[in-house]
Structure 1
Amino acid sequence: MSSEHTSHRPARRRASMLFRVRPRTATAGELLDNAPAAWSELQRDTSNGFYAEDNGHNEPVLEETSAFPEPLVKHRPTKSFSNIRHGVDGLRALGRRLSVTIRKKSSKGNLRHSHETQDHRDHGQPLGVEGAQRLQGGSRIHSSISRRPSLSALQSLHAPLTSAGKISSVMGLGAPVVDLSAGAAARAAAAAQNEMFNAERVSSRTDSKFYDRPERDSESGIGIDLRERSDSSDADLAVVRTDPVVFFPPEIMAQILSYLDPESLMRTEAVSRAWHKAASSRHVWRHVYRREFGSRVPPSKAKSKVHSAGLGKTLPNQDWKRIFLIRQALERRWRDGKAAAIYLQGHTDSVYCVQFDEKKIITGSRDRTIRIWDAHYPWPCLKIIGANPNDAPSSGPGTVPPTAITPPASGSAPMLAICPQVQGPSDVASCAPRSPEYHNASILCLQYDDEIMVTGSSDHTCIVWDVKDDYKPIRRLVGHKAGVLDVCFDDRYIVSCSKDTTICVWDRHTGELVKKLLGHRGPVNAVQLRGDLVVSASGDGIAKLWNITSGLCIREFAGRDRGLACVEFSDDARTILAGGNDQVIYQFDANTGELIGELKGHSGLVRSLYLDSINRRIVSGSYDMSVKVFDADTGELTIDLPGWTTSWMLSAKSDYRRIVATSQDSRTVIMDFGYGLDGIELLEEA
Structure 2
Amino acid sequence: MTQLYTSSAKLFSLLYSSNKSGRHQHQQQQHNSSISSNTTHIAVITQKDGHTVTRCLNRRPITSSSDALISNNTSQPSKKQRCFALLKFSGLRNRSSLSAASSSSSLPSCDILQRLPPEVIQLVLIHLDCASIARLSRTNRHMHAVCSDDGLWRTLLARHFNARIKHSVIPAFEYYRHHSLLEKRWQRGQAQARYMTGHTDSVYCIMRYDDRYLVSGSRDHSIRIWDLATYTCVASRTHHDGSVLCLKIQRDNGSHWMVSGSSDGTCVIWHSLPALVPVHRLRGHTNGVLDVCIVNGWIVSASRDGTVRVWDQNTAKEIRRLDGHGGPVNALQHVSGTSHVVSASGDGTLKIWNVDTGECLRTLVGHMRGLACAKYDPMAGRIISGGQDALLKIWNANTGDCKATLVGHDQLIRTVDCCGDRVVTGSYDRTLKVWDATTGQCLLNFQNAHDSWIFNALISSTQIISAGQDKRILVLDFGHDLHLGESS
TM value normalised by structure 2: 0.71
Q: Is the 8 A contact 1:526 1:566 kept in 2?
A: yes
DSSP-derived class of the 2:282 partner: strand
CA distance in 2, matches of 1:547, 1:495: 11
Q: Does 1:344 pair with 2:344?
A: no
Structure 2 CA distance for partners of 1:285 and 1:662, relative to 1, 3 Å: same
Match of 1:331 among 183, 195, 204: 183
- Superposed, 1:659-670 pairs within 5 Å as 659-670=464-475
Residue 401 of structure 2 is matched in structure 1 by 594
DSSP-derived class of the 1:348 partner: coil
Letter in 2 for 1:448: I
DSSP-derived class of the 2:240 partner: coil
Q: Does 1:579 pair with 2:374?
A: no
Residue 369 of structure 2 is matched in structure 1 by 562
CA distance in 2, matches of 1:322, 1:611: 27
Instruction: Please report how far the alpha carbon of residue 482 of structure 1 lies from its aligned counterpart in structure 2 after TM superposition.
Output: 1.5
Aligned residues: 373
CA distance in 2, matches of 1:636, 1:510: 47
Residue 150 of structure 2 is matched in structure 1 by 282
Deviation digits for residues 75-133 of structure 1 (CA, Å, limit 9, x no counterpart): xxxxxxxxxxxxxxxxxxxxxxxxxxxxxxxxxxxxxxxxxxxxxxxxxxxxxxxxxxx
- Superposed, 1:39-78 pairs within 5 Å as none
Residue 301 of structure 2 is matched in structure 1 by 496
Q: Does 1:380 pair with 2:249?
A: no
Q: Is the 8 A contact 1:245 1:278 kept in 2?
A: no
Task: Point out 4+ residue stretches in structure 1 off by more than 6 angstroms.
Answer: none
Deviation digits for residues 139-167 of structure 1 (CA, Å, limit 9, x no counterpart): xxxxxxxxxxxxxxxxxxxxxxxxxxxxx
Instruction: Please report how far the alpha carbon of residue 656 of structure 1 lies from its aligned counterpart in structure 2 after TM superposition.
Output: 0.7
Match of 1:634 among 439, 451, 471: 439
CA distance in 1, matches of 2:111, 2:148: 21
Q: Does 1:360 pair with 2:213?
A: yes
CA distance in 2, matches of 1:492, 1:245: 59
CA distance in 1, matches of 2:311, 2:289: 14
Residue 292 of structure 1 is matched in structure 2 by 160
Residue 334 of structure 2 is matched in structure 1 by 529
Instruction: Please report how far the alpha carbon of residue 578 of structure 1 lies from its aligned counterpart in structure 2 after TM superposition.
Output: 1.8
Deviation digits for residues 365-412 of structure 1 (CA, Å, limit 9, x no counterpart): 111111211212x4222222x23xxxxxxxxxxxxxxxxxxxxxxxxx
Instruction: Please report how far the alpha carbon of residue 685 of structure 1 lies from its aligned counterpart in structure 2 after TM superposition.
Output: 5.9
Instruction: Please report how far the alpha carbon of residue 440 of structure 1 lies from its aligned counterpart in structure 2 after TM superposition.
Output: 2.7
Residue 247 of structure 2 is matched in structure 1 by 446
Deviation digits for residues 459-487 of structure 1 (CA, Å, limit 9, x no counterpart): 21212222457332332222222211011
DSSP-derived class of the 2:286 partner: coil
Structure 2 CA distance for partners of 1:380 and 1:502, relative to 1, 3 Å: same
Structure 2 CA distance for partners of 1:582 and 1:591, relative to 1, 3 Å: same
DSSP-derived class of the 1:349 partner: coil
Structure 2 CA distance for partners of 1:552 and 1:245, relative to 1, 3 Å: same
CA distance in 2, matches of 1:471, 1:662: 21
Q: Is the 8 A contact 2:366 2:402 kept in 1?
A: no
CA distance in 2, matches of 1:582, 1:241: 63
DSSP-derived class of the 1:481 partner: coil
DSSP-derived class of the 1:331 partner: helix
Structure 2 CA distance for partners of 1:558 and 1:258, relative to 1, 3 Å: closer
Instruction: Please report how far the alpha carbon of residue 509 of structure 1 lies from its aligned counterpart in structure 2 after TM superposition.
Output: 5.0
Residue 102 of structure 2 is matched in structure 1 by none
DSSP-derived class of the 2:135 partner: helix
CA distance in 2, matches of 1:590, 1:580: 18
Instruction: Please report how far the alpha carbon of residue 624 of structure 1 lies from its aligned counterpart in structure 2 after TM superposition.
Output: 0.2
Q: Is the 8 A contact 1:584 1:599 kept in 2?
A: yes
Letter in 2 for 1:361: L
Instruction: Please report how far the alpha carbon of residue 359 of structure 1 lies from its aligned counterpart in structure 2 after TM superposition.
Output: 1.1
Structure 2 CA distance for partners of 1:276 and 1:507, relative to 1, 3 Å: farther
Q: Is the 8 A contact 2:221 2:243 kept in 1?
A: yes
Instruction: Please report how far the alpha carbon of residue 340 of structure 1 lies from its aligned counterpart in structure 2 after TM superposition.
Output: 2.7
Residue 133 of structure 1 is matched in structure 2 by none
Q: Is the 8 A contact 2:235 2:274 kept in 1?
A: no
Match of 2:415 among 592, 599, 608: 608
Letter in 2 for 1:279: C
Between 353-362 and 661-670, report the one with greater CA deviation: 353-362
- Superposed, 1:188-203 pairs within 5 Å as none
CA distance in 2, matches of 1:572, 1:683: 21
Q: Is the 8 A contact 1:261 1:288 kept in 2?
A: no
Instruction: Please report how far the alpha carbon of residue 643 of structure 1 lies from its aligned counterpart in structure 2 after TM superposition.
Output: 1.4
Q: Does 1:242 pair with 2:49?
A: no
CA distance in 1, matches of 2:361, 2:341: 10
Instruction: Please report how far the alpha carbon of residue 278 of structure 1 lies from its aligned counterpart in structure 2 after TM superposition.
Output: 2.2
CA distance in 2, matches of 1:591, 1:243: 51
RMSD: 2.4
CA distance in 1, matches of 2:387, 2:224: 28
Match of 2:260 among 440, 455, 458: 455
Q: Is the 8 A contact 2:175 2:483 kept in 1?
A: no
Instruction: Please report how far the alpha carbon of residue 312 of structure 1 lies from its aligned counterpart in structure 2 after TM superposition.
Output: 5.2
DSSP-derived class of the 1:449 partner: strand
Structure 2 CA distance for partners of 1:476 and 1:318, relative to 1, 3 Å: farther
Letter in 1 for 2:289: V
Instruction: Please report how far the alpha carbon of residue 507 of structure 1 lies from its aligned counterpart in structure 2 after TM superposition.
Output: 3.5
Structure 2 CA distance for partners of 1:274 and 1:355, relative to 1, 3 Å: same
Residue 271 of structure 1 is matched in structure 2 by 139
Instruction: Please report how far the alpha carbon of residue 259 of structure 1 lies from its aligned counterpart in structure 2 after TM superposition.
Output: 4.6
Structure 2 CA distance for partners of 1:267 and 1:347, relative to 1, 3 Å: farther
DSSP-derived class of the 1:543 partner: strand
Stretches of structure 1 lacking an aligned partner (at least 5 in a row): 1-239, 295-310, 388-437
Instruction: Please report how far the alpha carbon of residue 570 of structure 1 lies from its aligned counterpart in structure 2 after TM superposition.
Output: 2.4
DSSP-derived class of the 1:540 partner: coil
Q: Is the 8 A contact 2:349 2:367 kept in 1?
A: no
Identity within the alignment, %: 38
| Larger-gyration structure (1/2) | 1
Structure 2 CA distance for partners of 1:347 and 1:595, relative to 1, 3 Å: same
